[in-house]
Amino acid sequence: MSAPEPAPSALSMSPIPLIEGAAIDGMAAYRALVDEARRDPEAFWARLAREHLDWKQPFTRTLDSSHAPFFKWFDDGLLNASYNCLDRHLENGGASRTAIVFEADGGELTTLTYGELHARVCRVANALRARGVRRGDRVMIYLPMSIEGVVAMQACARIGAPHSVVFGGFSAKSLHERMADVGACVLITADEQVRGGRHLPLKTIADEALAMGCGDTVHTVIVYRRTGGAIPWHAGRDVWLHELEATQSATCEPEWVDAEHPLFILYTSGSTGTPKGVQHSTGGYLLWAALTMKWTFDIRASDVFWCTADIGWITGHSYICYGPTAAGATQMIFEGVPTWPNAGRFWQMIERHKVSIFYTAPTAIRSLMKAAQADPDVHPARYDLGSLRLLGTVGEPINPEAWRWFAAQVGGGRCPVLDTFWQTETGGHMIAPLPGVTPLVPGSCTLPLPGIEAAIVDETGRDVPDGHGGLLVIKRPWPSMLRTVWGNPARYRAGYFPEELGGKLYLAGDGAIRDSESGYFTITGRVDDVLNVSGHRMGTAEIESALAAHPQVAEAAVVGRPDATTGEAIVAFVVLKGPCPLDGDAQRVADELRTWIGREIGPIAKPREIRFGEAMPKTRSGKIVRRLLRSVAKGEAIEQDTSTVENPAVIAQFSKAA
């Protein structure tokens, strides 16, 4: 682990006005919550859990740290996540409140009230029970962005069956690995998904994954008919979702589970090449999803909330499936992509549906910023965005230029831009501006939320002075933290509470700097071998392993380089078993390798550049010198010390990209 460089000059505050009457109303209220959490953390979290969640059996024990870092929160209390997201909103006219406005890729609209959503969730939950799914059984979900995705997740929660959602862009091999690791008994998928006018064959990919060796555990495949396209069918195993629903009751008694019962396992890329199954609990996770909807987004009954993420990522879990529903909010869900049929799609939808809170990725903002500069017809100024009152960004730090454009051109200079830092492992926002509280700084995620003890340390776990870079850590446990890595507690302990930092600090894996004047945090990027491409974490080792599995590849190394649109771009350095390819052949082989990576992992893992050489630059002990490859990828002159490199001449061979 290496620490980032010292901080640049002090941060400058943005003049964008604050929100009046927010959930946390002013800096004094924020400081009071921070002080309450520091004085008595357990009493603080217990109060919030009692105020924001409905319990079937109240908890009497707030935190059990006797087996740290395997912490337990509220573990003797009983509750149900689906009940907290749906049932408790149904009284006093709540059943008729709009829960979801869904816009399909082609523009078709579907609206569901809380009463209708509750009925659908109950029917699917009953259908799962009818197919033999019981409390603790794992259900794999491989669906497009859809109402059905939210229904499936909530139905699993209702019967106490932990779900594991896989992003619809992942390959059959990636799906197979996750199904096998989690031991899924049921797979819920779709015939096809539709994105940008294209039909993508999810069921066919799912069948390929099952053929790789999950058939002994997956006894049922439930298929959502999205397009009606022709698909392979396995009688006895495959069943249509709509046919299952039609036979089931619209009422379903929830399974009351203890607060530590696993709600879901979500796989994220790690530095070892094997995806990690991040396990989240029911009570602690749901508390933080509900609280951050209130604190960060200041959610109100009049709001139309839109998070543009996919349910295959943690953002879609926390701020589509669980957070908005726990808050009883009205939300938009979108099937398609921001640039189809043109790059004005997002702005058109905000105008049409009167969206008031808009939460999206810096990659999307940068892409739409470029499109608006090239084509005035898709510029945000051409649309009525007056309904917006809050803007948020997620997935990666947002660069100041994109932040200012987003604030001025989309928010009209009146909407705070909430740059939220958090991770799959944290369950929800950790460091983020609060509307009505925090003066804003382009490029900074500002201050930790109340109850989050963030700090910056060196490689021995010691605090570093403000203004100097270091490793971002969390010093105290919090309720929504991951509980373990599924089936691998040793990996959880070593990866998140490493002994070199003392074994008691949660290591985020990101570098950060805290400003000496404001105390604001700025995230400087990953410090492990994980890339952040368009807000998606991709392990370099996973991509390297996939490349090395290709029959023509002898060795591969993968690094990231800065990219103005995606944040980072994947650059692969490849040594073939045969001769190093010449110009024409290099492009052909590179295209073949990209296709291979798309099949092995998914299109999001395809390298932007592939560079060929006769050998990797290595130390005398055989270790690849990645710092040199990073410099080559960035186009930098090699001015570093190469005396420890056994074969420095090979570096020049990687100068051309294919």
Binding site as annotated, residues for Mg(2+): 550, 553
Which amino acid makes up residue 445? C
Per-residue burial over 96-131, b if 16 or more Cβ lie within 10 Å, else e, is: ebebbbbbbbeeeeeebbbbbbbbbbbbbbbbbbee
Q: What phi and psi, each to the nearest 5 degrees, are found at residue 73? A: -120, 130
> How many Å from the N-terminal Cα to the C-terminal Cα in the chain?
31
| DSSP collapsed to 3 states, 10-45 | CCCCCCCCCCCCCCCCCHHHHHHHHHHHHHCHHHHH
- Does the bond joining 8 to the residue before it have cis omega, within 30 degrees of 0? no
Tokens of 428: 């929800």
594: which residues sit within 8 A by CB, 6+ positions away? 606, 607, 610
Per-residue burial over 1-13, b if 16 or more Cβ lie within 10 Å, else e, is: eebbeebeeebee
- Binding positions for CoA: 195-198, 315, 534
| DSSP collapsed to 3 states, 398-417 | CCHHHHHHHHHHHCCCCCCE
Pair 532, 568: CB distance under 8 Å: yes
- Binding positions: 195-198, 315, 395-397, 419-424, 510, 526, 534, 537, 550, 553
- Binding positions for ATP: 395-397, 419-424, 510, 526, 537
CA-to-CA dists, residue 648 to 581, 625, 645, 652, angstroms: 20, 10, 6, 8
Token pair 């992509």 in the structure block, residue: 337
Pair 594, 628: CB distance under 8 Å: no
- Does the bond joining 603 to the residue before it have cis omega, within 30 degrees of 0? no
Token pair 């302990």 in the structure block, residue: 493
Give the Cβ contact number of residue 243 at 10 Å: 12
Tokens of 539: 């392990």
List of E strands, 432-505 = 454-457, 470-474, 484-485
Burial of 584 (0-12, 13-18, 19+ CB in 10 A): exposed
Give the Cβ contact number of residue 326 at 10 Å: 25
List 330's β-bridge partners, or say none: 304
CA-closest candidate to residue 474, choices 514, 442, 537, 431: 431
